[in-house]
């Protein structure tokens, strides 16, 4: 079993992450959120689990949308400390430390399992999907975002000068799955690359019916409001998946 890196508890990484737009503004600073939100089932009255909940932005949104309970799980003490500090004690939201590599959840204990941008840190996705499937009640949904495999295939993925005054994003050894080490906010950040086919087929094999797949690209309105998003149309950064537990 792979030991999780817990990069969010490294001081330099945490300081940099805390300054990102999405860390300061929450869901309103996450350009993929409007699309991801449309992939969610009704949360009113439902039991929700948020895997890799970070600062708890989605937990608070789900509670505000009427969820019966929201359980936020994360590996990082730093992330959970801020989540707790910013969450009113409403009796709906609870947080706990958990490692998605070794996660255990009670059978049929959730109606919606949600995760935003945490699964690419997990080496054993098949184990995780199987645990989630057993934790979902019949017809329960898994909705998640993850870094897109085109975005993360290359080592030290990033824009390169294309030699003609433009820039390009390499997609190297796409079919070679496994660890990718990048320097983002800190040196030596480890993520796990899986092809699109592997992600979708593993979900199917683990007992999910995939109901929707999106590759986030900003809308013209989003680009007009935030021109720095324009480069996101050249390659997909995020993969968004909604899947239903098969009977
Ligand atoms: C990019 S942040 C996303 C946070 C939050 N979901 C959001 O969208 O605002 C990724 C989160 O995943 C957590 N994480 C990374 N590896 C993890 C693991 N093995 N188990 C649990 N959480 C993990 C990190 O600590 C961090 O809070």
Please write down the HEC assignment for all residues of 203-232: HHHCCEEEEEEEECCCCHHHHHHCHHHHHH
pLDDT value of residue 247 = 84
Average pLDDT over residues 173-179: 97
| Ligand 1 pocket test, candidate residues 30, 75, 96, 239, most atoms within 8 A of CB | 75
Contact 53, 95 (CB under 8 A): yes
SS3 159: coil
Cα–Cα distance list, 135 to 4, 105, 172, 229, 240 (Å): 22, 6, 36, 36, 20
Average pLDDT over residues 94-106: 98
Q: Check pocket membership of 223 for ligand 1, CB cut-off 6 A.
A: no
Q: Give percent of the chain above pLDDT 70.
A: 100
Give 156-170 pLDDT, tens digit per residue: 889 999 999 989 999
CA–CA separation, 219 vs 158, rounded Å?
22
Given a cut of 90, is residue 238 above it in pLDDT? yes
Q: Check pocket membership of 31 for ligand 1, CB cut-off 6 A.
A: no
Given a cut of 80, is residue 1 above it in pLDDT? no
CA of 21 relative to ligand 1 center, distance in Å: 16
| Ligand 1 pocket test, candidate residues 50, 54, 182, most atoms within 8 A of CB | 54
CA of 163 relative to ligand 1 center, distance in Å: 36
pLDDT value of residue 32 = 98
Given a cut of 90, is residue 21 above it in pLDDT? no
Global pTM value: 0.96
Given a cut of 90, is residue 122 above it in pLDDT? yes
pLDDT value of residue 114 = 98
Given a cut of 90, is residue 115 above it in pLDDT? yes
pLDDT value of residue 188 = 86
Average pLDDT over residues 62-77: 98
Name the phi and psi angles at 213, rounded to 5. -130, 135
The H or E element containing residue 160 is strand 160-161
SS3 239: strand
CA–CA separation, 40 vs 241, rounded Å?
10
Contacts 24+ apart (CB under 8 A), 213-221: 213/239, 213/240, 213/241, 213/242, 214/35, 214/36, 214/39, 214/239, 214/240, 214/241, 215/148, 215/239, 215/240, 216/31, 216/32, 216/35, 216/145, 216/148, 216/240, 218/31
């Amino acid at each position: 079993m792979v030991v999780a890196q817990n990069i969010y508890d490294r001081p330099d990484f945490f300081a940099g992450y805390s300054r990102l737009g999405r860390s300061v503004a929450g869901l309103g600073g996450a350009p993929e959120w409007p699309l991801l939100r449309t992939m969610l089932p009704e949360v009113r009255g439902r039991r929700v689990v948020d895997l890799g909940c970070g600062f708890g932005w989605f937990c608070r949104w789900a509670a505000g949308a009427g969820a019966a309970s929201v359980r936020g799980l994360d590996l990082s003490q730093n992330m959970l400390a801020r989540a707790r500090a910013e969450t009113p004690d409403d009796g709906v939201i609870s947080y706990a430390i958990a490692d998605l590599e070794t996660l255990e959840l009670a059978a049929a204990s959730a109606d919606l399992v949600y995760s935003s941008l945490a699964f690419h840190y997990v080496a054993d996705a098949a184990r995780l999907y199987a645990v989630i499937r057993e934790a979902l009640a019949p017809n329960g949904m898994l909705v998640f975002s993850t870094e897109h495999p085109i975005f993360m295939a290359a080592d030290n993925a990033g824009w390169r000068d294309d030699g003609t005054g433009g820039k390009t994003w390499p997609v190297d050894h796409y079919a070679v799955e496994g660890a990718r080490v990048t320097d983002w906010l800190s040196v030596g950040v480890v993520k796990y690359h899986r092809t699109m086919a592997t992600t979708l087929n593993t979900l199917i094999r683990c007992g999910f019916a995939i109901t929707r797949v999106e590759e986030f690209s900003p809308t013209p309105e989003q680009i007009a409001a935030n021109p720095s998003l324009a480069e996101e149309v050249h390659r997909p950064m995020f993969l968004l998946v909604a899947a239903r537990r098969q009977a």
